Structure 1
Amino acid sequence: MKTRVYIDGYNLYFGCLKGTPHKWLDLIKLMETLLVRSGAPEAKLDDLAIKFFTAEISERAASDSSSLNDQRSYHLALNNYCKSKLATVKGNYSIDKTKFPKVELDDSGKEKEPRFSERVKIWKMEEKQSDVNVALEAVYDGVTDTSLEHIVFVTNDTDIIPALKKLRHHNEHQVRDPIRIGLIIPARKSDSQRRGNKSLKELADWTIEFIHDWELEKAQLPCRVFGTKKTAIKPTSWFKHAEKVEEILGILSQKGVEGSISKA
């Protein structure tokens, strides 16, 4: 069963990866594992099996000075390792100034409604276009690629609901064989606060509600991923024991030993 997976990168990051040592993620291996768990082991991830939607973070908004380079290393690793099975589709990262009402208490200690609260100037930082790109690519592929039998979304963003509705509507017209629709909620099993959106789940033929930590741990790329032009190296801060790794690399990269971090 020819399958294509559409991954909202930022949704996956904030739902499963932020604050974990699993960010150096092999998307092909993870999706293969999850497709077996979904009850669709016959799904095949061939050429262009995954479309990964993301955007480069702005240095102005990065949590530390290495964030942008770390992200670029990961994107390079994915392209080197997954080759023709994966395509990266990039949107934009937007930083704007805007005004929003702040949370205030009234005289009785209750929170005021936003319309009665003072507006303060803030930085609004957000990733743009990914949800639109996911929807457009999935619907376009579903309509034009008659060999495609199975579409899987990795997101919990309700902005793609119109895309799921359009695909189901296309199935009803019986222009081609129906496309099966799968949904993977990018939430960790250990995170009890994050739940799949009911409206999204109702439009899918099957849903995976969460991803186990062990599934993320087992789906990791090699620490060094060779490419035809550039080699991608896992950022030191992405290791589980980052301080120990940094200490060891510092020793090994000294002159007279390996001489550089990449060799170490």
Structure 2
Amino acid sequence: MSENPDDLVVAATRALAILDVFSMEEPHLGLSDIARRVGLAKTTALRLLKTLEASHYVARTDQAQWRLGPATASLGSRYTMAFDVRESIEPALRKLSDETGEDMSFFVRDGDHRIRLVKVRCPQAQHNRARVGEAMPLDRGASGLVLLAYMGETGPLYDEIRARGYHVTVGEARQTSASVAVPVFGNRWRVAGALCIGMPASPDVAPKLHAYAPRLLQAAQSLSAMLSYDAGTARHERRPRATWHP
């Protein structure tokens, strides 16, 4: 059923129409072309372009033309990730949770924080009730440190994480929690997020987390293969160094 035109915001529909005029064949367009294609006066089109520019949805080129801005790439990545989560990540986490009897999470980076994008709770696991969408510090906890390591952070700790391929922390992000995390790679083998097993902290939990690492690395490798959309290209590109990569 189509929307009632009276319910639509005209300025928003015009701004979206402007974003739609850019294409792979014509990534850069001048003001006159944009105004003509969306059926607007140049003054109106310019006001809308400046509004979109303020939020980084469009940007100006050196040739006084316009192109899509970085915010559109971020939006596209989030849209793509929503499909990846539903189709690939959540079933993989559920399988791991069934096999290990532990809680599973998938974290992504958001600025200086990590966001729990997916969580699968094992009914038998005795652990905290962390929520999907929860923002946590990036520089504490196994998943945050793994994300930093594979996004290029320098230093002995991050060198060690990259050499080992995973990281274990106990009582770091929360005193009552312990976790082991590994990186998951996406398109062109860029870091997509971190796969994590969490459990209550205890004096003898670290060896158990290290023992889970090979299984977690294997799952991350399979997920990375599914999320790297151009597998033929990925095979010939330089992949981030980790012990489990083929």
TM-score over 0.5 (shorter chain): no
Which protein has the larger Cα radius of gyration, Structure 1 or Structure 2? Answer: 2
Highest RCO, 1 vs 2 (Cα 8 Å, sep ≥ 6): 1
Which structure shows the bigger proportion of residues in helix conformation?
Answer: 2
- When normalised by structure 2's length, the TM-score is 0.28
